[in-house]
Amino acid sequence: MKNRSLRQIMSAGFIPAVVLSSNAWAQSFDSNVDTKSSSASLDASMVFDSLGTLIGDYDADTNPAGTKTIPGLFGGSGNNPIDTSLSTAVDTLLDTNPAGSFVITPDFDLGLVEIDGLVIDLLNGQEGGTDLSVTMLYGTFHTINPSFLYPGGLPITLPLGQIGGITQAVLTQAAIGAGTLSPTDDPNIFDIAMLITGQLDMEINASLPGQDPTSTPIDALPVVLPIAGQIETLVDGTLLITIDIAPEPITLDVPIEGATLPPIPLELPTFGTDTASVIFTLVPETITFNATIGLTISATGTKSVCAADLNGDGNLDFFDVSAFLNAFAAMGQAADFNSDGLFNFFDISLFLQAFSEGCP
């Protein structure tokens, strides 16, 4: 419909008899996360549980001064393997300023709201440091060079320092989320409550001691995102959106079959300054992944490019004019195009302008 014919309809005072539901008056707002005023935290751990053996690094030809391992409290000879279980933990803590975007569609008259297309980059160009530690459980054994007794049944945890980092952590919405809008004492501020389903995609770049770094993707972890916050309507027609997202901790157990790890050299502590040099040969059994996420998002929402498409069908026609006129007559939020709480010439002018610009 041309702008001139629309003006004729408006100036003639014609109000169509077609009455659309209040849902048709809801408008969508493209919302971008304000990185500086938003925060994200991620506490993630990935544990590799393995079974295998440890043995001293002694070799008669190449390392005759190396460590020997011998089962039991005393006596024995040679360099013997010791049955061992090993948990290798990769832990990451993040505290970042995330980036992202989403589309929010509030219906202030019905008290409903939708969010779609939510994508949050938790890292936003930063990289989270990843620390490695190992926890060992073994039968009693003693060593030679140095001489030391390791009682069995007592797990020992060894921190091995930073070994890499998380290079990707992205939350992506899986389906449109619907929730409620509740008025507050301030007529321009509404409370939001909803649930969104999504997924977490991560990538960890890490290496075990003595090994080259490898990238480990952790894709499509399902997550339910409870959202609570507020929408504030501003005089310039934009929305200020503040939401907190605190999903339940994510846990994933993955059995491993047919995999082996290369030998891992480690230094076992003693009571003195010496260490016992041993080599682990392990077969992975399971991987357990745990993650806890916290988000506080601040975003500014601007009316979607096709603001005059009030019925959301992608076309500008008689039905959009009808929806605007009905909303204007009922003083519905969709007709308050400059969000100043008034319904006057300025709203009509802005609607005419948006209608004449058309949809992309």
Residue among 4, 16, 7, 62 nearest 311 (CA): 16
- pLDDT number for residue 228: 96
CB-CB contact of 42 with 92 (8 Å): yes
pLDDT beneath 50, residues of the chain? 1-25
Partners of 130 in the β-ladder = 92, 164
**Of all helices (H) and strands (E), which one includes residue 303?**
strand 275-303
226 vs 66, 173, 245, 253, CA distance in Å? 56, 12, 6, 23
Dump pLDDT digits (tens) for 165-196.
Answer: 678 889 999 998 999 999 999 999 999 999 99
d(CA 104, CA 223): 20
Structure token pair of residue 131: 């620390």
Identity of residue 97: N
- pLDDT number for residue 113: 94
- pLDDT number for residue 225: 92
- pLDDT number for residue 136: 84
**Of all helices (H) and strands (E), which one includes residue 320?**
helix 318-329
The conformational region for residue 347 under phi > 0 = left, psi -120 to 50 = alpha, else beta, is alpha
- pLDDT number for residue 40: 93
Map tokens 């190396």 to a residue.
66
- SS3 category, 35: helix
Residue 48 CB neighbours (<10 A): 20
- pLDDT number for residue 134: 81
